[in-house]
């Protein structure tokens, strides 16, 4: 093991890892999102101990909850859909039974986004840049947003 590189060349420099309650069901869920299972390591009892998934340059690892609880930790995962049609992708996921927790919409910083939530509570936001926004317009929109949050 000592002569293996710490990060294999095909993996990105940042690789999120999720602790999940049911790794097998999570693999199925990610396959619905268009991810491909790259590798699986099983525990002695045959359950999944570790899996690596990828989709168009995005990679992540999953494993069972052993030393920590799964779920919403304040971490959101943003995934760029590249040249894909974001709205069509959202509809494909819905048709495949994935619950859309936030419908596609445009954000003030120039992205169109939608959100799905993993059964353990992790939020996945799919994004596509649709327009450039000047720094002045973005600051004005941020100020408006902050004002609305403060009065809510």
Q: pLDDT tens digit string along 127-142? A: 999 999 888 887 888 7
Query: Is 107 a residue whose pLDDT tops 70?
Result: yes
pLDDT class of 11 with cuts at 50, 70, 90: low
CATH topology assigned to domain 71-152: 3.30.720
Domain boundaries, the chain: 1-70, 71-152
Residue 3 φ/ψ, nearest 5 degrees: -90, 5
Q: Which pLDDT score, from 0 to 100, does residue 29 have?
A: 96
Whole-model pTM above 0.85?
no
Q: Which pLDDT score, from 0 to 100, does residue 36 have?
A: 94
Based on the number of CB atoms within 10 Å of its own CB, is 20 exposed (0-12), middle (13-18) or buried (19 or more)?
Answer: buried
User: In this predicted model, which residue has the larger pLDDT, 150 or 26?
Assistant: 26
pLDDT class of 1 with cuts at 50, 70, 90: very low
Number of Cα atoms under 13 Å in the Cβ half of residue 116: 21
Q: Which pLDDT score, from 0 to 100, does residue 90 have?
A: 97
Question: Can you tell me the distance from the alpha carbon of 82 to that of 17, in angstroms, rounded to the nearest whole number?
Answer: 22
Q: Which pLDDT score, from 0 to 100, does residue 73 have?
A: 67
| Domain 1-70 in this protein, CATH class | alpha beta
Asked whether 62 and 26 are in contact (CB, 8 A), the reply is yes
Q: Mean pLDDT over all residues of the chain?
A: 84
Q: pLDDT digit string (tens) for 44-102?
A: 888 898 899 999 888 998 988 765 667 766 667 888 888 889 999 999 999 999 999 99
CATH topology match: 1-70 vs 71-152: yes
Query: Is 28 a residue whose pLDDT tops 70?
Result: yes
pLDDT class of 123 with cuts at 50, 70, 90: confident
């Amino acid at each position: 093991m000592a002569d293996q590189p710490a990060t294999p060349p095909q993996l990105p420099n940042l690789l999120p890892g999720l602790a999940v309650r049911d790794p097998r069901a999570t693999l199925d869920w990610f396959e619905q999102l268009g991810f491909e299972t790259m590798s699986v390591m099983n525990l002695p009892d045959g359950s999944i101990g570790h899996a690596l998934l990828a989709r168009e340059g995005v990679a992540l690892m999953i494993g069972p909850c052993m030393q920590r609880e799964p779920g919403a930790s304040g971490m959101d995962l943003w995934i760029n859909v590249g040249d894909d049609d974001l709205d069509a992708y959202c509809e494909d996921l819905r048709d495949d039974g994935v619950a859309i927790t936030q419908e596609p919409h445009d954000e003030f910083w120039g992205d169109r986004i939608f959100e799905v939530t993993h059964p353990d509570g992790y939020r996945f936001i799919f994004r596509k840049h649709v327009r450039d926004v000047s720094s002045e317009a973005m600051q004005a929109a941020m100020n408006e947003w902050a004002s609305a949050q403060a009065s809510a």
